[in-house]
Structures are given as structure tokens and as C-alpha cells.
Amino acid sequence: MTFLHAIILGIIEGITEFLPISSTGHMVLASDLLKIAQTDFVKSFEIIIQLGAILAVVVLYTKKLLIEKKAISKIISAFIPTAIVGYVLYKFIKQYLIGNDVVVLWSLLIGGIVIILFELFYDKPEREKQSTKSMSDISYSQAIAVGLAQSVAVIPGVSRSAATIIGGQLAGISKKTIVEFSFILAVPTMVAATALDIFKNPISIGSGEMVPLMLGFVSAFIVALVSIKWLISFVQKHSLVWFGVYRVVVSLAFFAYFFWILK
């Protein structure tokens, strides 16, 4: 992995971790395009730079959580279903799903269609008036519903962000609130996923690999700061339908690339 590869992957992680387009899917596809071999270091690199993006959430939302302390228990409640699913299915996910281009592309395609249909047919104006407007006011049943929705994102390409946003709105949480809730929920979810992966597959990093690792981590952190602020502003004025369209276009383009051009 070159320094440029590290920066590119860090930027991709920072952009896609919180947008409803799947960071895992984009990392897999980007690695294929850049011809980056899936060595032990590259797998460790992709795990660690996620923490760079997660650090951006900690920086932006620690103060808000200190004010809305009641939201912390709701975050924990939402985290539990995903933790159980991820732990129970870890071996299956690692062996058959992670790095599987076909799974990623189908997930991007189906997920994109789901987003489009949800945005077109969900009665947002009327439901938004009656929705939960504060993270502290989210009920435990709503939090668990969000956690169950998030657990679907153990499938690469599904998008944790999309799953939680749609699941939260269906559970009666306002769009802005569920987007912020989704950001914060990413912290325990990704930290736990990273810790489990490191425990199962101890990381070994050579002295020559520290520079690309730091470049990727810092790139992910800086870009995630911008991405988070942008998405909060975007969802208050626009539909998520274009993210769905983007997913469909990308998946079809890569289907063509992998199965026709490379055939």
C-alpha cells in the first residue's frame, strides 16, 4: 500500500462511514480498483481507520451527550441487538460476507431501491409532525427497533447509516434526530466491532507501515468531520432518494465492470 492509497482509502472511509451508501462496500470496491492486495496489514488498516471516522463523532457530539444524558441509555439499548447479532454471526460474516464483491453489489443495489421506495412512499410531512424530536425522548422500544435495523448492516454493502435512519423513522423518530442518534450509535458499534476483530485476529504492524496507517486515520477523521456536518444540513432540506439512486448506479456499473469487462 502506497501513501497515496492510504490517503484515498482514508478519504473514502471519512465520506462513506456516515452517509447512507455503505463504507464497507466502498472500501471493498475501491481496494479492487486500486489493485490493493488484501494482506493482513490492509485488513488491519481498514479496521483502524474506521476509528478515525468514529473519533469525529466523539469530537462533535460529546458536549451534546453531556447535555442529553438520558440519551446514553437509549444508545446502549440500540447497541445491544447489533452486538448480539455481530457476535453470534462473526465467523459466518468474516468467512463468507466480508470482501465478497457479489454480496456487496447486491446489497448496494437492493439497499438503493429500498431507500428510493421509502423516500417516495413514506408519508414524511405528517409523520414528522408527530415524531420524537429529541434523543433523550426516544423510547426504549424505539431504540431497540433502531438497533434491530442496524443489525442488518452486518451484511457488507447494506449501510449502517441507511438502516438506522430508515428504521428510526419507521419507529417514529424525526429525521434529524435519528441521523444524530445514528452518528452516536456508531461509536459503541464500531469500537466493539473493531475490538472483537482485533481479539479474534491480533494486529501486527511493522515500523514501515505506521506512516500509511496514520495518513489513513487522519484523512478519515478530517473528512468525517465535514461529512457529518454536511449530512445534518442536507437531511433537513432534502430527500435521501439521491443516495438510493447513487447506490443503484454504482452497483450496476460495478456489475458491468466485474462480470463483463473483466470476463
- Please state the length of the chain: 263
CA distance 262 to 66: 52
155-180 burial, b if ≥16 CB within 10 A, otherwise e?
Answer: bbbbbbbbbbbbbbbbbbbbbebbbb
Please name which of 97, 109, 37 lies closest in space to residue 256, comparing C-alpha atoms: 109
Q: How many domains does the chain have?
A: 1
Residue whose C-alpha cell is 439512486: 245
For residue 170 the three cell numbers come to: 419507521
CA–CA separation, 90 and 194 (whole Å) = 12
Closest CA to 154 of 221, 224, 107, 118: 107
pLDDT for 19 equals 92
Q: Which residues of the chain have pLDDT under 70?
A: 40, 99, 123-126, 128-129, 203-207, 261-263
Q: What is the per-residue pLDDT for 205?
A: 66
CB 52 within 8 A of CB 218: yes
Q: Extract the C-alpha cell encoding 79.
A: 447497541
Query: How buried is 221 (Cβ within 10 angstroms: 0-12 exposed, 13-18 middle, 19+ buried)?
Result: buried
pLDDT of residue 243: 94
What is the C-alpha separation between 204 and 40, in angstroms, rounded? 8
Handedness of CA 253, 44, 195, 16 (dihedral sign): negative
pLDDT at 257: 81
If you ran DSSP here, which 8-state letter would residue 137 be given? G
Instruction: Name the phi and psi angles at 173, rounded to 5.
Output: -105, 140
What is the maximum span of the chain, computed from C-alpha positions, in angstroms? 57
C-alpha distances in Å from residue 230, one per residue of 154, 195, 202, 234: 25, 29, 35, 6
Q: What is the pLDDT of residue 221?
A: 96
| Cβ neighbours of residue 253 closer than 8 Å, sequence gap 6 or more | none
Q: What is the pLDDT of residue 216?
A: 93
For residue 84, the enclosing domain spans 3-261
Looking at residue 123, its pLDDT comes to 64
- All cell numbers assigned to 97: 460476507
pLDDT for the residue 204: 63
DSSP H or E stretch at residue 247: helix 241-256
Cell of 52: 478515525
The region that residue 172 occupies, defined by phi over 0 for left and psi between -120 and 50 for alpha, beta otherwise, is: left
pLDDT of residue 23: 86
Q: Is 261 exposed, middle or buried (CB count within 10 Å of its CB: 0-12, 13-18, 19+)?
A: exposed
